[in-house]
Structure formats: C-alpha cells, structure tokens
Amino acid sequence: MDKKLITVTSPLLPDLHDFHKVLQEIWDSKWITNNGSFHKQLEKELAAYLKVPYISLFTNGTLPLITALQALRITGEVITTPYSFVATTHSLWWNGIKPVFVDIDPTTGNIDPDKIEAAITSKTTAIMPVHVYGKPCDTKRIEEIADKYGLKVIYDAAHAFGVEVDGESILNAGDMSTLSFHATKVYNSIEGGALVMHDERTKKRIDYLKNFGFAGETEVVAPGINSKMDEMRSAYGLLNLKQVDAAIEARHQVAIKYREALRPIEGITFMEDMPGVRHNYSYFPIFIDAEKYGMTRDELYFKMKAENVLSRRYFYPLISEFTTYRGLESAKPENLPNAHKMADSVICLPMHHELSEEDVTRILGTIIR
C-alpha cells in the first residue's frame, strides 16, 4: 500500500462556516468588488498586522511588481537576483526593462551587496532584490548603494510576510515592497498580493494604476492595469489573518525538529535563524553536498518522491537559465557561481502548518540513512 502523500505545502484555509457567514454578508450587500468594505477592512488590518503605514491590495503578487516599476517610472536597466521565482524578472520584462543579474551571498541566498556596484551602468535606475525564503536582505547596505548612485529600490518580499528585524517590518525597507498571497505562501487569499509604500500620495497613485489608471469617474491618468482584489478574497483574507500567527508557530516547530535531526547529518546544511529577526518559516531549504552525503541532490529528490514525500527544488533552474534571459551578458554562469551552486544543491522540504509529528518523522526518514 502506498504511503500517504506528503505535499511540500498546504494552504491555510479559513473555517468553512465562518467563510459562509461572510459570503452571506457579501450576497446581501451585492457589492462584490471595486473597493468594497471587506477590501477596505483587509487593507486596514494588514497594515496594522504588518506594521506598515500604507498598503494596496492586488489580485496576485506579480502585478504589484509590475505596477511598482511603472509608478516609479523605472527604465533602462535594473539590478536583480537570478535566485528567485520567475515573476521577479518577468516584471522587468513587462516594463521593457533590461534585467542585470548579480550573484548571491552563499549563506543567505540573497543578492550580494558587495557585487552590486560593479553592475551599475549609466542606464541603471533601480535595484530589485528578493528576501529569499523570507530571510531579510542586507537592506542597510543596499540603501547606501542606492543613495550613492541615486537608484530606487523595490523589494520582492513575496516570501517575507510578517518578517521583522529588531521589531521593525522588513517591508518598510526600500521605496516599495511587494507581497504575494498565493495559496502556496505563508498567508494566502487564494490568489492575491499587495504593495507596501511609505506615504499616502504613493498609495493614491498605486490605487489609480491598479484600476486602469482611473483617478475619478471620467479621468484616466496613466495606462493602468486591472488588479483589484474582490470582496470574496478580501473576506477570506480577513479570516486567515486571525490564524496566521498560529500557522507560523506551527511551522517554527517543524523547523526546530528538522534542524535537530539534520544537524548531525554529514553533507546536509541548512539555514539558521538570524539574531533579532522574527522569521516566518515560509520555506525549509536544505543543501546537499553530494560527495559528503553520498547521493546527489536529484537522487535524493526522486527518492523522496518515490516514497510519496514531495519536496521542491526551489530555485532550480535559475531565472538566468530560462530562454528569455539566458542570452544576456549578466546571465552567464561565470557571473553567477554562488547562485548556480545553491540552485544545484537545494531541496525545499515540506513545510506547512499541518505537518504532524508522524509526517516529520517520515520526511526525515527519507533523508537520514
């Protein structure tokens, strides 16, 4: 008999009866989208929960990236990381911007600030880093470089929901930060996302841009997109916000068990918590040294799969390896040795709020030999 399938993630779902109650309210009001009361309430509660001054909701986590670039009038070249989900670089493509890939720091997986300056040209207008796996970038160093060269900084913070450094939200770094509320993320609204900004003027402009550029009934100020979150997803998001802390704590407990069991295993390394950081345990990447472990990353990945444990090789292949981008000078593997090494050795273990003690033991049993 096949063992129960363990998936890499499992969506945080609100109680169905609670959701049914809010659906009834929406049905009664007949207001199903366009800045309704649940939409407004979710923006308010998310801003408070995330400790950010202003937030604008979107239908997914990709359109806020595209819209932030448009709002800040970013052109030419943008420095970014190849070690991410493709949407990061795709957002540049959608704005006609040339991505310039910079290698990552081998310990955090985030863009290496020491390598940014060498990639700046007269066409560079911004930096788009990613807080990979929710691990905070070196935001201070990035800000220093951006200020020195007059560049904007847009953080893809899709993995960094609720992450804080010394009690301050990581989402307040840079000019703007984006979030994804996709089903696979720590916090989800089925599909959804948001843009975090520092001031009301910017929020107003973003709210125009996500609504076709409408600034009132008859005035259109820019070629905006349609990315308004509807009332069903907003109401669902409000319910999930109440249970996200418990979900993060459940993930934390899984991370503790993984670390304890994997620490003595030769050829396997993982990331530790960083001092002063409130982590969200969105992913649990491990890195395989084939020689020491006695098995390659792919061998282990397929062995786990054969035992009905689904892990993921995030982020393999690198974005710079996809056909759209691999012709770029900065996409050459020689330019990105650390990123290639990480992409070739990583496995993200199953990580979600519903993993039982038994599941964790079974997952570890596929790795520990």
Ligand X SMILES: *Cc1c(COP(=O)(O)O)cnc(C)c1O
Pick between residue 160 and residue 355 the one whose CB is nearest to ligand X. 160
Contacts of ligand X in 252-311 (CB under 6 A): none
β-pair partners for 178: 156, 195
Strand-pair category, 176-180 with 152-156: parallel
**Site for ligand X (CB under 6 A): how many residues?**
14
- What would you report as the CA-atom Rg of the chain, rounded to the nearest whole angstrom? 21
Stretch of 151-159, 225-233, 234-242, 298-306 lying at the interface with ligand X (CB under 6 A): 151-159
Pick between residue 72 and residue 360 the one whose CB is nearest to ligand X. 72
Pick between residue 62 and residue 280 the one whose CB is nearest to ligand X. 62
Q: Counting contacts by CB under 6 A, is residue 340 touching ligand X?
A: no
Q: What is the rounded distance in angstroms from the CA atom of residue 231 to the CA atom of residue 73?
A: 30
Give the residue nearest to ligand X (CB).
Answer: 61
Helix (H) or strand (E) holding 93: helix 87-94
Pick between residue 69 and residue 268 the one whose CB is nearest to ligand X. 69
Helix (H) or strand (E) holding 48: helix 37-50
| Cα→Cα distances 348→133, 282, 289, 293, Å | 10, 10, 15, 17
Phi, psi angles (nearest 5°) of residue 309: -115, 110
Q: x/- string (CB under 6 A) for ligand X, residues 88-107?
A: x-------------------
Q: Figure out which of the listed residues 158, 255, 347, 355 binds ligand X, where binding follows CB under 6 A.
A: 158
Pick between residue 156 and residue 360 the one whose CB is nearest to ligand X. 156
Give 112's contacts (C-beta < 8 A, 6+ positions apart): 102, 103, 104, 105, 338
> In Å, how far from its chain's centre is CA 114?
23
Contacts of ligand X in 23-42 (CB under 6 A): none
Structure-token match 């923006």, residue found: 43
| Inter-residue contact 7 to 350 (CB < 8 Å) | yes
Contacts of ligand X in 52-81 (CB under 6 A): 60-62
Q: x/- string (CB under 6 A) for ligand X, residues 111-150?
A: -------------------x--------------------
Half-sphere exposure of 166 (CA within 13 A, CB side): 1
Q: x/- string (CB under 6 A) for ligand X, residues 212-251?
A: ----------------------------------------
The amino acid sitting at 256 is I
Q: What is the rounded distance in angstroms from the CA atom of residue 44 to the CA atom of residue 234?
A: 11
CB of 87 to ligand X, least distance (A): 4
Pick between residue 139 and residue 366 the one whose CB is nearest to ligand X. 139
CB of 192 to ligand X, least distance (A): 7
Pick between residue 155 and residue 293 the one whose CB is nearest to ligand X. 155
Q: x/- string (CB under 6 A) for ligand X, residues 182-201?
A: x----------x--------
Q: Figure out which of the listed residues 8, 52, 87, 170 binds ligand X, where binding follows CB under 6 A.
A: 87
CB of 29 to ligand X, least distance (A): 27
**Collapsing DSSP states into helix, strand and coil, what is residue 290?**
helix
CB of 129 to ligand X, least distance (A): 11
| Inter-residue contact 59 to 228 (CB < 8 Å) | yes
Which token pair is 38?
Answer: 């649940």
Pick between residue 101 and residue 293 the one whose CB is nearest to ligand X. 101
Stretch of 119-127, 154-162, 210-218, 346-354 lying at the interface with ligand X (CB under 6 A): 154-162
Which token pair is 346?
Answer: 């990583």
Structure-token match 């819209």, residue found: 67
Q: Figure out which of the listed residues 54, 83, 85, 287 binds ligand X, where binding follows CB under 6 A.
A: 85
Q: What is the rounded distance in angstroms from the CA atom of residue 163 to the CA atom of residue 159?
A: 9
The amino acid sitting at 277 is V
CB of 21 to ligand X, least distance (A): 26
What are the residues binding ligand X (CB under 6 A)?
A: 60-62, 84-85, 87-88, 130, 156, 158-159, 180, 182, 193
